[in-house]
Structure 1
Amino acid sequence: MTNSPSENPFKICVLASGSKGNSIYVTDGTTSILVDAGLSGVQLERRMAERDIDPKSISAILVSHEHTDHVSGVGVLCRRYGYTAYFTRETYKASIKGLGKIEKCKGFVPGQEFTIGGMTIHPFSTSHDAVNPAGFTIQAHGAKAGIATDLGIATAMVKNHLQDCNVLLMEANHDVQMLLDGPYPWHLKQRIKGRSGHLSNDASRELLEEILHDGLSHVILGHLSETNNLPEIALDTVAPVLDGHKAKLCAAHQSMCGDLIDICCKKE
């Protein structure tokens, strides 16, 4: 069984996931952060209110890359609540003009860990059509969460960083056949399924197969395309990997926030 919430303050909640906006809340019980803020400030405040999250309790936003669906609310929230925004140097240059003035900014380099309060952040490079995109693992209280969306391929580096995660948010963007048969122009289809695009359901299943371990308690499929995927297709594609495993599988949504999930090792 898992420990009670009071014994496990390390938690994650996907506030939004998809091409219209992404944001993930992570707390260790003392320090709280957002990974990306790709909705408006008002929308993100509403999502947080649904899970009784006080926006004033958050201290920082980690920015994975400069695309609008990951940064559109960063400037507003930082000005409104005094958050510190963390960027790579290249992502800062690519996005800051559209975000307005942010008083507190800090840099990070993929491959070099840093801390925010009691949480240790390990950023790692991903393969996506952005200037210097990053995924993250976040560790606290002896547990580990991994966040890997917006990547065309799961490189050896990505797989290495996602080893031993207790909770994993991983991309399952599209069903390949739906993408090929769908309405997008060919150049966009090529971009999405290319090495700098997005992981398919099949690629997500293959990644999970390689990094699955007994301590994994939750797998969240993220960044599902509203045009080229369906939650039931993504879940049906990935679920067979977890046959006989105790990990829970769910899909994150664009239009509503997910549950607040404990990040902890499962205990019998």
Structure 2
Amino acid sequence: MLKVASLGSGSKGNSTLIATEEATIMVDCGFTLKETLKRLERLNVVPSALDAILITHEHQDHISGVGPLSRKFDIPVWSTRGSLLSGKCGKLSNYSVIEGFNRFIIGDIDVLPISVPHDAREPCQYLFNADDKKLAVLTDLGSYTPEIIELLKSCDGLLLECNHDEDMLWNGPYPYSLKQRVGGPLGHMSNSQAIKLLQSIIDDNLKLLIASHISEQNNCPDLVQRSVATAIDWPLGDVIIAEQDKGFDWLAVS
């Protein structure tokens, strides 16, 4: 059974767990070592159970805890060369270099890195395939490409960025330069962008939808849940919210 959980999602830190009976993968670790261990315990996961840490990109809210966790428990890190060359993880003795759209295997999980538009050195997101189920983790991108749309079709589960409401962002307190970055093609996905993406890929296979990386300043979980559910004609409660403080507990991709 393929399943997913989150330690937390948002600008203060991000980390997602993907697991089967044979393997457990952490995608990003943007929390301190102490906080990461605390959040892992909440999900009943011991660090020694982690088979790999996958990096999406080198921004602090995704990478700050990767080096300390990897070094302390000798967990292999998988990353693009660009993210590694940022030096944000410190010295790593156990790592593998990956490239966008080149598959690799961890345990019984097939992993496909997806190159995405984002303001980092060599950012990627991931598509996981195990037990005949597909789960995509797609956060931290300012826009989406035809390749991304094709890969997301027929997914059984999707963790999708709904970072900001465009009106709240542009009328909010951020400096104009930051508004341009967040709302630009290399920034973060808005609610409306996420909805358009969903409407272009949704089919009967998609059973699990999780809205993630929701801005505390420029968005509202209730707004995300309501607007997404209405747009794709889903029951309100079926749109799961990844929270900054609690993430979400284990969910099966079925």
Specify the TM-score bucket, using the shorter chain as the normaliser: over 0.9
- Distance in 1 of aligned mates of 2:21 and 2:96: 23
Name the structure 1 match of 2:148. Answer: 158
> How many residues are aligned here?
254
- Conservation of the 8 A alpha-carbon contact between 2:3 and 2:18: yes
Following TM superposition, by how much is the alpha carbon of 1:245 offset from its aligned partner in structure 2, in angstroms? Answer: 7.2
Of residues 67, 70, 93, the one that matches 1:78 is 70
- Distance in 2 of aligned mates of 1:140 and 1:249: 23
Amino acid at match of 2:150: N
- Distance in 2 of aligned mates of 1:232 and 1:59: 35
- Conservation of the 8 A alpha-carbon contact between 2:6 and 2:242: yes
- Distance in 1 of aligned mates of 2:217 and 2:236: 31
Name the structure 1 match of 2:230. Answer: 240
- Distance in 2 of aligned mates of 1:24 and 1:125: 18
Partner deviation per Cα, 1:197-237 (whole Å, 9 max, x = no partner): 00100111111111111111111011111100010111112
Following TM superposition, by how much is the alpha carbon of 1:19 offset from its aligned partner in structure 2, in angstroms? Answer: 0.8
Q: CA RMSD in A?
A: 1.4
- Conservation of the 8 A alpha-carbon contact between 1:129 and 1:196: yes
Q: What percentage of aligned pairs have identical amino acids?
A: 35
Of residues 128, 133, 151, the one that matches 2:123 is 133
- Conservation of the 8 A alpha-carbon contact between 1:59 and 1:82: no
- Distance in 2 of aligned mates of 1:145 and 1:184: 33
Name the structure 1 match of 2:109. Answer: 119
Matches within 5 A, 1:1-268: 8=1, 10-94=2-86, 96=87, 98-243=88-233, 248-264=238-254
**TM-score, normalized by length of structure 2?**
0.97
- Distance in 2 of aligned mates of 1:122 and 1:30: 18
**TM-score, normalized by length of structure 1?**
0.92
**Partner SS, residue 179 of structure 2:** helix
Following TM superposition, by how much is the alpha carbon of 1:90 offset from its aligned partner in structure 2, in angstroms? Answer: 1.0
Amino acid at match of 1:54: V
Give 5+ residue unaligned stretches, structure 2. Answer: none
**Partner SS, residue 260 of structure 1:** strand
- Distance in 2 of aligned mates of 1:215 and 1:18: 27
Give 5+ residue unaligned stretches, structure 1. Answer: 1-7
